């Protein structure tokens, strides 16, 4: 029986917190027995010079981090060819995405997103008492511009595009994105978390259009997912307002130092990026030979339709029994898919060996 005082406290919760309910206890991070290919991490060590910056920052652990992340914003501005007033830095790009929701959405408002997309957006919309409109993009390498401008999404306060997209891996041309940004008078948020694995990027559009915000992260292509560094680039008036509602000391000194160092040594990651692209193609070829349908990807992961006879959850469980972790999704049209992060050659060999064993067992 629930405690009377607890019931009183729970009844005073804001409506979004009531709808979300309590977070489940969760699971501990998998140990070294597992090959972790389910969250699109980049499993390579930091370059020596970046590692040294982290160690040096630890020697100043008694100090608060730099207010407003000025040094990190200046480093990002130099790297991306902007002024620091065009940049806000965050505790991962997910923090900055949440700030955008807070700044632009109120109860009853709507936001439009290409679907399938980043599921965290559903929670962010709910917290603002806003409606998330999901515009289907399937695996098409184009944007349904008319649906965003004239369809049910025409009144959305902003439009969220991920390019390349997660979980499909699809990349749409920057010309397509520019057409939407140019024709719309609403805010367009372009999430480029995986863009370093793609053939082009939308950075040049930031200079041309005040209604564009561009998100970047160091988690995927710069092997810093656990350090949490992200950026949002856009018009100084919008960026300045986002900075004004950001939490004080939102980043720690290690994230600030590592972020500055990575931005100064991006060339050190070129071999990392080549490896992931090469492994992505090798694994895609092998999976097709095993009977999977693999969509073209411009990210550090593959979305694969599993062979007939089982769904994605079955393959997820079968691979986990063999010590391999992959991702599955509840979205319509993805129940027969698994998503595989691209890691080291040894990790991918372990994954392919497990797939071969499962397929061999199926055919007996």
Min mean pLDDT across 75-89, 142-156, 174-188 is at 142-156
Using the predicted structure, report yes or no on whether residue 364 has a pLDDT greater than 60.
no
Partnered with residue 132 across adjacent β-strands are 111
Domain(s) labelled CATH 3.40.640.10 in the chain stretch across 48-264
Q: Which residues of the chain does CATH 3.90.1150.10 include?
A: 31-45+269-362
Report phi then psi at 39, rounded to 5. Answer: -130, 20
For residue range 180-222, list pLDDT tens digits in order.
999 999 999 999 999 999 999 999 999 999 999 999 999 999 9
37: nearest Cα among 359, 355, 356, 360: 355
CB atoms within 10 A of CB 97: 22
Contact, 207 vs 184, CB < 8 A? no
Q: What is the rounded average pLDDT of the residues 258-275?
A: 96
Closest CA to 304 of 332, 277, 274, 328: 328
DSSP structure string for 289-327: HTT-EE---SSSEEEEEPPTTS-HHHHHHHHHHTTEE-B
Phi-psi region of 30 (alpha: psi -120 to 50; beta: other; left: phi over 0): beta
What's the CATH fold of domain 48-264?
Answer: 3.40.640
Per-residue exposure over 31-58, b if at least 16 CB sit within 10 Å of its own CB, e if not: eeeebbbbebbbbeebbeebeebbeebe
pLDDT in tens, 243-254: 999 999 999 999
Average pLDDT over residues 278-296: 97
- Quick one: fold of 31-45+269-362? 3.90.1150
Residue 169: closest CA among 280, 26, 313, 76: 280
pLDDT of residue 158: 92
Q: Which of 30-34, 232-236, 287-291 has the lowest mean pLDDT?
A: 30-34
pLDDT at 119 over 90: no
Band (pLDDT 50/70/90 cuts) for residue 330 is confident
**pLDDT given for residue 309 in this prediction:** 87
Q: How far is CA 186 from CA 156, 180, 189, 349, 356, in A?
A: 8, 10, 10, 46, 49
Which residue has 């010079």 as its token pair?
A: 49
Give the number of other Cβ atoms within 10 Å of residue 151's Cβ: 13
């Amino acid at each position: 029986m629930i405690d009377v005082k607890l019931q009183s406290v729970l009844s005073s919760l804001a409506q979004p917190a009531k709808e979300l309910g309590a977070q489940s206890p969760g699971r501990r991070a998998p140990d070294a027995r597992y090959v972790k290919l389910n969250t699109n991490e980049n499993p390579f060590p930091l370059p020596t010079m970046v590692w040294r910056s982290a160690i040096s920052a630890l020697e100043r652990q008694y100090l608060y981090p730099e207010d407003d992340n000025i040094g990190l914003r200046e480093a990002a501005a130099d790297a991306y060819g902007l002024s620091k007033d065009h940049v806000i830095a965050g505790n991962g790009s997910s923090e900055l995405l949440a700030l955008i929701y807070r700044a632009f959405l109120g109860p009853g408002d709507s936001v439009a997103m290409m679907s399938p997309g980043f599921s965290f957006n559903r929670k962010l919309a709910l917290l603002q008492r806003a409606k998330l409109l999901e515009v289907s993009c399937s695996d098409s390498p184009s944007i349904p511009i008319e649906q965003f401008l004239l369809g049910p999404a025409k009144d959305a306060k902003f439009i969220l595009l991920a390019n390349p997209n997660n979980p499909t891996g699809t990349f749409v041309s920057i010309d397509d994105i520019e057409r939407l940004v140019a024709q719309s008078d609403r805010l367009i948020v372009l999430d480029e978390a995986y863009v370093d694995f793609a053939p082009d990027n939308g950075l040049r559009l930031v200079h041309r259009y005040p209604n564009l915000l561009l998100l970047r992260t160091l988690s995927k292509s710069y092997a810093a997912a656990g350090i949490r560094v992200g950026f949002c680039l856009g018009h100084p008036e919008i960026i300045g307002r986002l900075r004004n509602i950001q939490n004080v000391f939102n980043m720690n000194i290690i994230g600030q130092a590592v972020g500055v160092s990575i931005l100064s040594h991006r060339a050190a990651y070129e071999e990392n990026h080549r490896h992931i692209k090469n492994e992505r193609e090798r694994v895609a070829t092998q999976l097709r030979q095993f009977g999977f349908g693999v969509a073209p990807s411009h990210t550090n992961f593959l979305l694969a339709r599993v062979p007939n006879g089982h769904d994605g959850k079955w393959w997820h469980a079968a691979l986990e029994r063999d010590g391999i972790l992959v991702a599955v999704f509840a979205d319509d049209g993805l129940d027969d898919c698994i998503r595989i992060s691209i890691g080291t050659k040894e990790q991918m060999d372990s994954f392919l060996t497990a797939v071969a064993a499962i397929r061999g067992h199926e055919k007996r």
